Amino acid sequence: MQSIEGASASESRVRAAQYVRMSTDHQQYSPEHQKPALADYARVHDIDIVETYEDDGRSGVTLRHRPALLKLLKDVLDPGRAFETVLVYDVSRWGRFQDVDESAHHEYICRQAGVRVIYCAEPFVNDGTPASNIIKVVKRAMAGEYSRELSEKVFIGQCRHVERGFWQGAPPGFGLRRMLVDITGKQKCFLAHTERKSIQTDRTILVPGPPNETALVRKIFEWYVHDRLGTFRISSRLNDFGLYNAQAHPWTSDTIRLLLRNEKYVGNLVWNRTSVKLHSNLVRNDPSRWLRAPGAFVPVVDADLFNAAQVRINRYRHKPDTSEYQASMSRLLRATGKLSVRTMLTQLDICGKSNVRRHFASLDEGYRSVGYRPPADIAFVDQRMVARRSMTLHVADLVSRLRQAGHEVEQNTDGSFLRINRELRIKVCVSLGRKANTYRSYAEVKKSKMRIADLALVGYYPRPWLCLTAFYLLPTCVLSDVCMTPLSFSRVPGVEGFRIHDLSTVLMLCARKTIGGSQ
């Protein structure tokens, strides 16, 4: 039976939790080394270790990747915890935080909760004196600096490997495989998706994959360059054939675009496009910081074909200015003798053809800037743009009112198509009236072939005033598929019944009424 004196001695011993951590930098900091050292310290100072928190193989740079330390800090705030002291081997095991205040903050949380943190292998006593505080700050700064120096050394070593043509991790991509080579460069074997090298002196290179994959890669480039197919059409064609990408997922426009841009298919190794140093946020580096090793691998695609693909895929990166548009329009005028919106959209030898109108105050001004005088009045082109901008405001107000009424509204970027409650589809357009010198101005509308809609919402803007006069809300079934449909009562009397003066009718059409149950 335990004596009263023995029980009192046992109750007077300090209860502690030990925290141990090891990354992959020093094996002398392994948990098997730290735990005996902490146990010796506890035995000498009459401390009982009652809890163990272990982060094995975890970096000390951040807190979010260390579940054991997170749990320790959470348990420290619990009044029912089983310890009042935390034993740590040294300051670097507590963390190599890049901000010394972060390390101090986590220790401060423990101290505020009445838990003392002891660094057992440090030559100072963590008692809050000015001397110990100064030493701790220096130690924390040294621990953070060690991680920065190690990161820089690792980066320099990786750069040297890249210059020699060695692959630095990451999946190889469709049509390529990872090959393990020894220190002399002799090929050993392929590495599967989850396999890693086991010998430190071995390296990895990229080699062409199975013939069917390499042939498909070349075919994708040929479709894009020679057949002028877009990335969406290429991905759709591959998915229709039942051909999936390297991750066994369906192809998308983005995956096709990444394949077309990647220089590894022409044999070049490009590295350091992005950086994630010391567990910081991903940074996209400037191309001047990229490290490139030309001819590091056996090419899958011919260099001329690859370069032609880059010219096409980068055609919209350059934003032409007004002078470039004028020069291109002058060349087209000399070649054809005339200009029109249609010919400019198809035949201008400059990227961004669809934006040519936006660089001039009016289309007529753009024509005159290159010395062209159109034979007919083209003011309707600019007037239609004015009407469309006005109609966009009315549609935005309608969408806001619909959403306030509890309806779900989807719309495209320019607001020309609405889908309400996933069932009602409305095509939005404008119609200009005939010229003022006609007998009677009227509106016309044409059925859209691009969008399948249930209703057509037409804004009527008679010229030359371009002031919204009325709306037409028409079932698309009454519109002609081959020609313009006149909307004036003088032409088709029945159409006038679809004329409305505000958009409240749309709200009424979308209204829902609750159907009550039987009594």
- DSSP result, 133-171: HHHHHHHHHHHHHHHHHHHHHHHHHHHHHHHTT---SS-
> Please, which pLDDT band fits residue 279 given cuts at 50, 70 and 90?
confident
Residues 452 and 356 in one domain: no
Concatenating the DSSP letter of every residue in 405-427 gives TT--EEE-TTS-EEEETTTEEEE
Say if residue 331's pLDDT is above 60: yes
Please state, in angstroms and as integers, the Cα–Cα distance from residue 194 to each residue in 169, 182, 417, following that order. Answer: 11, 19, 47
> Please, which pLDDT band fits residue 417 given cuts at 50, 70 and 90?
very high
Residues 132 and 35 in one domain: yes
Residues of the chain above pLDDT 70, percent = 91
Cβ(353)–Cβ(345) under 8 Å?
A: yes
Long-range contacts of 25-31 (CB under 8 A, 24+ apart): 25/150, 29/89, 29/92, 29/93, 31/56
Residues 387 and 462 in one domain: yes
Cβ(390)–Cβ(459) under 8 Å?
A: yes
Domain boundary among 361, 376, 391: 376
What pLDDT shows up at residue 309? 93
What pLDDT shows up at residue 11? 58
- In this structure, the number of other CB atoms found within 10 A of the CB of residue 34 comes to 24
Please state, in angstroms and as integers, the Cα–Cα distance from residue 336 to each residue in 78, 325, 339, 375, following that order. Answer: 83, 16, 8, 15
**CATH number of residue 189's parent domain:** 3.90.1750.20
Cross-strand bridge partners of residue 190: 179
How far apart are alpha carbons 241 and 441 in whole angstroms? Answer: 53
Residues 109 and 128 in one domain: yes
Residues 256 and 283 in one domain: yes
Residues 143 and 193 in one domain: no
How far apart are alpha carbons 188 and 180 in whole angstroms? Answer: 5
pTM for this predicted structure:
0.59
**CATH number of residue 445's parent domain:** 3.40.1350
Say if residue 24's pLDDT is above 70: no
Residues 141 and 8 in one domain: yes
Of 443, 471, 445, nearest in space to 457 by CA: 471
Residues 499 and 437 in one domain: yes
What pLDDT shows up at residue 379? 78
Residue 153 lies in a domain: no
> Please, which pLDDT band fits residue 7 given cuts at 50, 70 and 90?
very low
Residue 159 lies in a domain: no
Q: How would you classify the pairing of strands 424-432 and 455-461?
A: parallel
> Please, which pLDDT band fits residue 1 given cuts at 50, 70 and 90?
very low
Cβ(16)–Cβ(87) under 8 Å?
A: yes
What pLDDT shows up at residue 170? 83
Containing H/E element for 179? strand 176-181
> Please, which pLDDT band fits residue 325 given cuts at 50, 70 and 90?
confident
Domain boundary among 271, 295, 313: 313
In terms of pLDDT, which residue wins out, 484 or 245? 245
Sign of CA dihedral 231, 237, 243, 249: positive
Determine which of 139-148, 277-286, 290-299 has the lowest per-residue pLDDT on average.
277-286
| pLDDT tens digits, 211-259 | 999 999 999 999 999 998 989 999 999 999 999 888 888 999 999 999 9
Of 48, 130, 125, 53, nearest in space to 94 by CA: 53
Residue 397's Cβ-count burial label (10 Å; 0-12, 13-18, 19+) is exposed
Amino acid sitting at position 196? R
Domain boundary among 313, 337, 361: 313
Region of residue 164 (phi > 0: left; psi between -120 and 50: alpha; otherwise: beta):
alpha
* Average pLDDT of the chain, as a whole number: 85
In terms of pLDDT, which residue wins out, 27 or 152? 152
3-state secondary structure of 270: strand
Residue 50 CA to its chain's centroid (Å): 47
How far apart are alpha carbons 53 and 30 in whole angstroms? Answer: 14
Residue 171 lies in a domain: no
Residue 358 lies in a domain: yes
Residues 61 and 121 in one domain: yes
What pLDDT shows up at residue 29? 66
**CATH number of residue 64's parent domain:** 3.40.50.1390
In terms of pLDDT, which residue wins out, 315 or 109? 109
Residues 8 and 144 in one domain: yes
Residue 48 lies in a domain: yes
Concatenating the DSSP letter of every residue in 26-62 gives -GGGSHHHHHHHHHHHHHHTTEEEEEEEEEET--SS-
Say if residue 4's pLDDT is above 50: no
| pLDDT tens digits, 227-237 | 989 899 999 99
What pLDDT shows up at residue 442? 60
| pLDDT tens digits, 337-348 | 888 888 888 888
In terms of pLDDT, which residue wins out, 263 or 24? 263
Say if residue 438's pLDDT is above 60: no
Residues 32 and 137 in one domain: yes
Residue 156 lies in a domain: no
What pLDDT shows up at residue 8? 47
Residues 305 and 250 in one domain: yes
Phi and psi torsions of 298, nearest 5° = -70, 125
Of 171, 169, 204, 199, nearest in space to 185 by CA: 204
How far apart are alpha carbons 505 and 498 in whole angstroms? Answer: 10
Structural domain of residue 481, as residue ranges?
381-510
Say if residue 440's pLDDT is above 70: no
Residue 339 lies in a domain: yes
Query: Structure tokens of 306?
Result: 């690859």
Say if residue 308's pLDDT is above 90: yes
Cβ(445)–Cβ(431) under 8 Å?
A: yes
Q: What is the mean pLDDT of residues 461-469?
A: 82
Cβ(267)–Cβ(297) under 8 Å?
A: yes
Concatenating the DSSP letter of every residue in 471-517 gives EEEEEGGGS-SSSPEE-STTT-GGGGGGEESSTHHHHHHH-----PP
Say if residue 3's pLDDT is above 50: no
| pLDDT tens digits, 367-413 | 888 999 888 777 777 888 888 889 999 999 999 999 999 999 999 88
| pLDDT tens digits, 354-376 | 777 778 878 888 888 899 988 87
Say if residue 286's pLDDT is above 70: yes
Residue 158 lies in a domain: no
Per the structure, the count of domains in the chain is 4
> Please, which pLDDT band fits residue 28 given cuts at 50, 70 and 90?
low
C-alpha angle 239-241-245 in degrees, rounded to nearest 5: 50
Instruction: Annotate 154-192 with b (16+ C-beta within 10 A) or e (fewer).
Output: eeeebeebbeebbbeeeebbbbbbbbbbeeeeeeeeebe
Q: Where do runs of H (alpha helix) occur along 202-276?
A: 211-225, 231-240, 253-261
SS3 readout for 279-341: HCCCEECCHHHCEEECCCCCCCCCHHHHHHHHHHHCCCCCCCCHHHHHHHHHHHHHHHCCCCH
In terms of pLDDT, which residue wins out, 485 or 128? 128
Residue at token pair 């590495």: 191
